[in-house]
Structure 1
Amino acid sequence: MLGAFFLGTQAVYAHTEAFEPLESTIESVRTALVTKSATCRTVVSSFLSRIEKFNPNINAIVSLNPDALFAADELDKKLAAGDLAGKLLCVPVLLKDNYDAIGTNTTGSCAGLAGNRPIVDTPSVKALKKEGAVILGKTNLHEMALEGLTVSSLGGQTVNPYDQTRTPGGSSGGTGAAIATSFAVFGTGTDAVNSLRSPASANDLVSVRPTRGLISRTGIMPVSFTQDTIGPIARSIRDLAVALTVMASVGADEADNATLLVPPEARGIDYTRGLDDGSLNGLRIGLLDGFWNHTVSDETTPVIDALESTIDFLKSEGVEIINVTESIYNASSLADLDVQQYEFKESLNNYLSSPSLTGDRPTTWDEVYESGNFLVIPAQYSFINNSRIGSPTDPGYTTAKQGIDDLKAAVNKTFISNKLDAVIYPEQKNLVVKIGSPSQAGRNGILAALTGVPVVAVPVGFSQPSLDAPIGVPIGMEILGLPFSEEKLLNIANHFTCLRPLRKTPAFANDTVPTNPYVSVPKVHPDISNIPPAYPLGVLH
């Protein structure tokens, strides 16, 4: 798929190397354009060349936008006329392949949905384009965003660029691996439980899961209307803040009821405003004790050490750490409140029946499953079976929704009674799992997913270097706040990442690397009862 694109376009961009895409930022792109050291075509071409060179090794990209260079040429005409408007002028962006975007198919990395073609941009994509962003293409995700290993029937296994024996987190793992390897300035993801923050943590990146309703989810292949949200993944907090500003600029959307509940004062915010204001000194931050695994092991000890070092650093900057020990804050028990299985079928059926979709494709969840072009890993057996019969009319759904309301009240009480500015905890209790693991175990994203409150994920360190991980495996932390506290969380995260910069480029970023053996597309099984209980190295047998 990617080869055909490059064969048709390589000649027009292979000679342009005036722009360095590695670790580039929104600001560095604009500077190159303003100083005329690069054209927009040069910028976009540089990223396409980089994808061509390194994607075979990490398998992060599912498809490229055939109109990317045309879009760059149109922006060059605008630049030639002296028009420099646009917060994202010629900024290359990658979309998780569950975002509708004109000119590309929206597949959810599911082979059964390979022909699903939108004729309308999702509002957030429209907003990105309006500000001058160039959509480069789509990234791989765990099949239909239903797990966190980032293996799929259409895209195969994406690998972690820091340790190619490990997964890149997920479900937005293709975006995480791609942005870590500088395939774009930033990318987009979705998050029903962990899926924006898991790839950020696993790939030494930053991300924001915004308050539910802040960004419209129309035109996004859904999982759960209660838990779904969308947002950006980037290499710096400043780029993250610009991306969030643009994506949230859509405002209220009649097609997404959650957006109608957002208070007016939470609209129209420039999240870059005040990033550098104040300091960490005097903040009161809660530490969720129940979100740690205190058992010493090769997979957990690096996380424990990184978080303890982080806590020491925060204290040295004048932060008061308050240990929060309430039993309700336990990621394992909170999983019982997950409502995805009750909402998935109805949500997906509504999406697939949209008049804005065309192409030869299934139009219901049952048709997707029964097509035989759908990948189910063993850890998903129960979810898949339950989702086909589950609905919001089930008694279990009512119980879970009441539990979610109780949890929201508990979080609010915790913040008020302890006078907290935020709470922190490791995104994952252990290192991101190895390729071939049955599930992405140990993640802590469920708290924000259920309550709908905002979270910013930041890097907090690496495991010790090893043969497989030359600079170590990245480790991330979540900073969680009350609804619509994105400005405060981004301010905290910006101070933290500037005072304690931990972003590192993957070791192979400028080298030729051997072909990765783990990227082949797995076999597809129409009957999940016939799938064996485990699969090796991302390939189901």
Structure 2
Amino acid sequence: MPVRRLVAILLAASLLVTLVATPAYASRTPVDVVGLGVADLRVLLDQRKVTSLQLVGEYLRRTAAYENAYAGQPGVNAVIAVNPRARAEAVRLDVERRLGHSRGPLHGIPIVLKDNYDTRDLPTTSGSVALRDLRPDRDATQVRRLRDAGAIILAKTNLHEFAISITTISSLGGQTRNPYDQGRHPGGSSGGTAAAVAAGFAPAGMGTDTCGSIRIPAAHNNLVGLRPTLGLSSRAGIAPLAGTQDTAGPLASSIRDIALLLDATAGYDPADPVTEAAKGRIPAGYQSTLRPDSLRGKRIGVFTDNFGGSPAEQLTNGVVRAAIADMAALGAQVIELGRQPEVVDSAAKANRVRDEFERDLNGYLAGSAGGRPSSLARLEPPRDEVTLADIATSGQVTPTVLSTLRDWVASPPLPNPAYQEKLRQRDILRTGLTALITANGLDGIVYPTVNEPPTPIGTTQSYANCRLAGYSGFPALSVPAGFTAAGLPVGVELLGLPFSEPDLLAMGYAYEQATRHRMPPASTPPLR
């Protein structure tokens, strides 16, 4: 071993012994993390007012307090697995900081991951009992980049099984509940990540979005959520729903935190060819455009078709209309776009999930499962690979999802005429949105993220507003818009042209800073 490396190891070991032995480090004094985001924690860590080990301990303490039933509440039920090495990772990163080395703004920050992101040290289950023993050999690209940036993977979170719907129920994780009203859905499919962040189990997390699966839970949990441009960030090592629609991105309590996570994860990845489009499109830093006057002079088009007329939708409409008025007061020029039947029609016909799911899931399982567990792989031919057919035959899936999976086994080979027509409708949608934005000189389009408040558990939830971004591949940002009279969160969504994330974040930041609608839920208060 080289002498310099040996000296560094001995120095680190000596510092670790000293560090852990010091009262400030070993203190069990609780750290009140409620209301603190990534940027806030970064300041505290840089100022040595808190350690990463303390943060991990406090987030785990909150998870233990509020995850399961307590004080008349059923519990949030957002977490599938806690990382048993989180504390050790925190200590290692604290040592690095004490030695004068910082990996960047995420150094020592705990985060949570939707449990369809591959992790080399934890199972990746997609929320399914059938995949409870799936242990990938490597991290998903975004997970590796987050770890390299110093983030601590605190836990894997629940999702609607296989990311297939929006109420976040799974055979492995059960039903996740909304911390703003634990009798209601958290949105989905990234509902576990959103509920965990909202409840203060972590300051931020990562989700996936095929048609609303980041933005809907962001809106329902009073969070910011970004669906990035298709191609901005890698999906390699993430269980897919539909390869031509899937994106992966952050959920957090502020725009600035979204920017910090995006800085760490965006960019080209040879393992995901779609990210070729990101070359030359990534700014030096997504924080650089965040100014409180960023709405001044911007032109925002109101997408009328995404405002429904039912009583429940009227509750959301009122909050979002007030948000649009606030944007106008901050200097934006608001343009009512009126009905857009061609755009709406193409969006309704462009969903490729049913066509691509089996092909893409089987491709993912071939790499991440590697034929394991063999007891699952041998249920259906080929007997040495895990496939959708094996999962469906196992029956180890929540009933509503199981029926869908069984319907999707032996999907028609691609391409086929029906699928080609859906791709054509996608292109029509892209062309229509581009023309709508450019013809009106718009910087963004605005509408309710989801057109009704969180619904009671056991009922259905509308999700049609997700289609514009989800089926086109355009970026969209959901920002807290306030609450209904019943105290239920509402989100307002801004959509832009591909790779317009800097502008969307800037406009969202100006609105966020002026309105300050983010408020922690009362059902998960600070611990004593």
2:453 — aligned with what?
Answer: 431
Give me the whole-angstrom Cα distance separating, in 2, the residues matched to 1:14 and 1:368: 46
Give the C-alpha shift of residue 18 in structure 1.
4.3
2:307 — aligned with what?
Answer: 292
Name stretches of at least 5 consecutive residues in structure 1 with no aligned partner: 1-12, 466-471, 513-541
Q: How large is the Cα RMSD of the aligned pairs?
A: 1.9
Give me the whole-angstrom Cα distance separating, in 1, the residues matched to 2:37 and 2:330: 27
Letter in 1 for 2:66: F
Letter in 2 for 1:326: Q
Give the C-alpha shift of residue 310 in structure 1.
1.5
Letter in 2 for 1:63: A
Q: Is the 8 A contact 1:59 1:159 kept in 2?
A: yes
1:340-360 per-position Cα deviation (integer Å, ceiling 9, x unaligned): 111000100001110675742
Give me the whole-angstrom Cα distance separating, in 1, the residues matched to 2:504 and 2:126: 30
* Structure 2 counterpart SS, 1:318: coil
Q: Is the 8 A contact 1:18 1:37 kept in 2?
A: no
1:228 — aligned with what?
Answer: 246
2:169 — aligned with what?
Answer: 151
Map 1:108-257 onto structure 2 (within 5 A).
108-248=126-266, 251-257=267-273
Map 1:437-448 onto structure 2 (within 5 A).
437=459, 439-448=460-469
1:373 — aligned with what?
Answer: 396
2:277 — aligned with what?
Answer: 261
Equivalent position to 1:457, from 451, 472, 478? 478
Give me the whole-angstrom Cα distance separating, in 1, the residues matched to 2:429 and 2:472: 7
Map 1:14-413 onto structure 2 (within 5 A).
16-56=28-68, 57-248=75-266, 251-262=267-278, 264-267=279-282, 269-276=284-291, 278-295=293-310, 297=311, 299-324=312-337, 325-330=339-344, 334-354=347-367, 357=370, 359-360=372-373, 361-362=376-377, 363-377=386-400, 381=403, 385-386=407-408, 388-413=410-435
Give me the whole-angstrom Cα distance separating, in 1, the residues matched to 2:86 and 2:407: 40
1:229-259 per-position Cα deviation (integer Å, ceiling 9, x unaligned): 00000000000110011111xx322221211
Aligned length, in residue pairs: 486
Q: Is the 8 A contact 1:433 1:441 kept in 2?
A: no
Sort the Cα spacing of 1:351 and 1:441 in 2 relative to 1 into closer, same or farther, 3 A: same
Give the C-alpha shift of residue 276 in structure 1.
1.0
Give me the whole-angstrom Cα distance separating, in 2, the residues matched to 1:203 and 1:384: 32
1:251-298 per-position Cα deviation (integer Å, ceiling 9, x unaligned): 322221211233x32135310112117431221101111111123x2x
Flag as ranges the 4+ runs of structure 1 deviating above 3 A.
Answer: 355-359, 380-384
Give the C-alpha shift of residue 35 in structure 1.
2.7
* Structure 2 counterpart SS, 1:174: helix
Q: Identity rate of aligned residues, in percent? A: 35
Give the C-alpha shift of residue 377 in structure 1.
1.6
Letter in 1 for 2:236: T
Q: Is the 8 A contact 2:111 2:203 kept in 1?
A: yes
Give the C-alpha shift of residue 203 in structure 1.
0.2
Give me the whole-angstrom Cα distance separating, in 1, the residues matched to 2:515 and 2:413: 46
Sort the Cα spacing of 1:388 and 1:16 in 2 relative to 1 into closer, same or farther, 3 A: farther
| Residue 507 in structure 1 maps to residue 522 in structure 2 | yes
Give me the whole-angstrom Cα distance separating, in 2, the residues matched to 1:118 and 1:386: 24
Give me the whole-angstrom Cα distance separating, in 1, the residues matched to 2:476 and 2:518: 19
2:488 — aligned with what?
Answer: 473
Give the C-alpha shift of residue 335 in structure 1.
3.1
Q: Is the 8 A contact 1:116 1:357 kept in 2?
A: no
Give me the whole-angstrom Cα distance separating, in 2, the residues matched to 1:338 and 1:212: 15
Give the C-alpha shift of residue 98 in structure 1.
0.1
* Structure 2 counterpart SS, 1:445: helix
Sort the Cα spacing of 1:14 and 1:60 in 2 relative to 1 into closer, same or farther, 3 A: farther
1:519 — aligned with what?
Answer: none
* Structure 2 counterpart SS, 1:27: helix
Q: Is the 8 A contact 2:292 2:509 kept in 1?
A: no
Q: Is the 8 A contact 2:347 2:426 kept in 1?
A: no
Give me the whole-angstrom Cα distance separating, in 1, the residues matched to 2:404 and 2:150: 43
Sort the Cα spacing of 1:49 and 1:429 in 2 relative to 1 into closer, same or farther, 3 A: same
Sort the Cα spacing of 1:322 and 1:387 in 2 relative to 1 into closer, same or farther, 3 A: farther
Letter in 2 for 1:285: I
1:63-109 per-position Cα deviation (integer Å, ceiling 9, x unaligned): 01111011011112112212233220111100000000121100000
Give the C-alpha shift of residue 39 in structure 1.
2.0
Give me the whole-angstrom Cα distance separating, in 2, the residues matched to 1:343 and 1:499: 42
Q: Is the 8 A contact 2:451 2:465 kept in 1?
A: yes
TM-score w.r.t. the length of structure 2 is 0.88
Letter in 2 for 1:320: Q
Give the C-alpha shift of residue 37 in structure 1.
2.3
TM-score w.r.t. the length of structure 1 is 0.86
Sort the Cα spacing of 1:124 and 1:31 in 2 relative to 1 into closer, same or farther, 3 A: same
Sort the Cα spacing of 1:314 and 1:268 in 2 relative to 1 into closer, same or farther, 3 A: closer
Give the C-alpha shift of residue 411 in structure 1.
0.8
Give me the whole-angstrom Cα distance separating, in 1, the residues matched to 2:61 and 2:197: 15
Question: 94-103 or 20-29: which moved more?
Answer: 20-29
Q: Is the 8 A contact 1:16 1:46 kept in 2?
A: no
Name stretches of at least 5 consecutive residues in structure 2 with no aligned partner: 1-24, 69-74, 378-385
Give the C-alpha shift of residue 511 in structure 1.
6.7
Give the C-alpha shift of residue 198 in structure 1.
0.5
Letter in 1 for 2:356: E
1:179-221 per-position Cα deviation (integer Å, ceiling 9, x unaligned): 0011111000001111000100000000111111111100000
Sort the Cα spacing of 1:328 and 1:383 in 2 relative to 1 into closer, same or farther, 3 A: farther
Give me the whole-angstrom Cα distance separating, in 2, the residues matched to 1:376 and 1:172: 19
